[in-house]
Structure 1
Amino acid sequence: MTLVDFYHLVSSPLERILPVICEKVLTGGDRLLVVAEPGLLGRLDEQLWNFSRDAFLPHGRQNGENQPILLSETPEAVNGATNIAIADGQWRDEALSFARAFYFFDAGDVDRARSLWRRLKDIPEVESRYWKQDDRGKWVQGP
């Protein structure tokens, strides 16, 4: 069974949301693979180093078997991750081999996300949830 969480980025950018997800995954004792195109990976790498003065998110890029959070262009969990974050809005079917997938998309990717949602609803081994921020910035689960 794969749980796919759709995160519709409305009022906060990915660079502010992803570190929070990373913290939650690590707190649960799990590992995370973050997949995106190279330019975005560079920005996320920097953000994970600088997001908080009080916290450290251990992470690395490419071939980091020992990294609790691995940033990569490909959906291969060489770090043993059971969680994957698709950070660039480009779904990769390999995500379905993970226990949990976080799929981030913004206003420009809504149609693609809807299409993916419909496709995943037909797969019995997949449970999908939709999350969107309310007016106060709190994440609420949608229908």
Structure 2
Amino acid sequence: MTGIDFHFNTPDKLGYACRLLRKAVATHGARVVVVADAQMLEAIDLALWTFAPAEFIAHCRCDGEPHTVARSPVVLAESGDAPLPHRQVMVNLGHGVPGGFERFDRLIDIVSADEADRQAGRTRWRHYADRGYAIQRHDFAGSAG
């Protein structure tokens, strides 16, 4: 069963996601699919190019060239149901329950301190909990993220 980590009250969702991806890829050698709506995917794509110039995080869109997608440690997708090269880690930056999350070994759901994002996060939490998933809580209230 998919392991779920809920990272909530992150003060800077985009910056936090970049740091998490950097650590997952550099430290753990993880392969990650980032799921979000088109606007957030644009933002994370740009952020990954500019986040830390000396520590580029290789990434691509899931609809890129198949050989590039197969080799990229970070793949950006609007849905986990898209054709993807692996099912290791999914990071959800979207508001809804990501399609196909249950096929991944691990799901990391990131929720900002924004009230609308928190409300959507509560709905996702209930969805996962109602289906019997064990959820690890990571509360960043009062921290720098």
User: What amino acid is aligned across from residue 73 of structure 1 in structure 2?
Assistant: E
The aligned counterpart of 2:21 is: 22
The aligned counterpart of 1:141 is: none
For residues 1-143 of structure 1, the aligned pairs below 5 Å read 1-11=1-11, 13-26=12-25, 27-63=27-63, 64-75=69-80, 76=82, 78-106=84-112, 107-124=115-132, 126-138=133-145
Q: TM-score, normalised by structure 2?
A: 0.82
| CA distance 1:10–1:31, shift in 2 (3 Å) | closer
The aligned counterpart of 2:66 is: none
User: How far is the alpha carbon of 1:57 from its aligned partner?
Assistant: 0.5
How many residue pairs end up in the alignment? Answer: 136
Q: Give me the whole-angstrom Cα distance separating, in 2, the residues matched to 1:21 and 1:121.
A: 24
User: How far is the alpha carbon of 1:93 from its aligned partner?
Assistant: 4.3
Q: Give me the whole-angstrom Cα distance separating, in 1, the residues matched to 2:40 and 2:127.
A: 26
Aligned residues with identical type, % of pairs? 21
Structure 1: which 5+ residue stretches go unaligned? 139-143
Q: Residue deviations 1:66-124, cap 9 Å, x none? A: 21100111213622141001112221241121111111223213233223323322434
Q: TM-score, normalised by structure 1?
A: 0.83
Q: Give me the whole-angstrom Cα distance separating, in 2, the residues matched to 1:112 and 1:40.
A: 15
Structure 2: which 5+ residue stretches go unaligned? 64-68
Contact 1:7 1:104 in 2 (8 A): yes
Q: Which has the higher contact order (CA 8 A, sep 6+)?
A: 2
Q: Give me the whole-angstrom Cα distance separating, in 2, the residues matched to 1:109 and 1:38.
A: 16
| CA distance 1:77–1:16, shift in 2 (3 Å) | farther
Q: Give me the whole-angstrom Cα distance separating, in 2, the residues matched to 1:19 and 1:77.
A: 23
| CA distance 1:127–1:24, shift in 2 (3 Å) | farther
Contact 2:6 2:109 in 1 (8 A): yes
Contact 1:84 1:95 in 2 (8 A): yes
**Deviating more after overlay: 128-137 vs 62-71:** 128-137
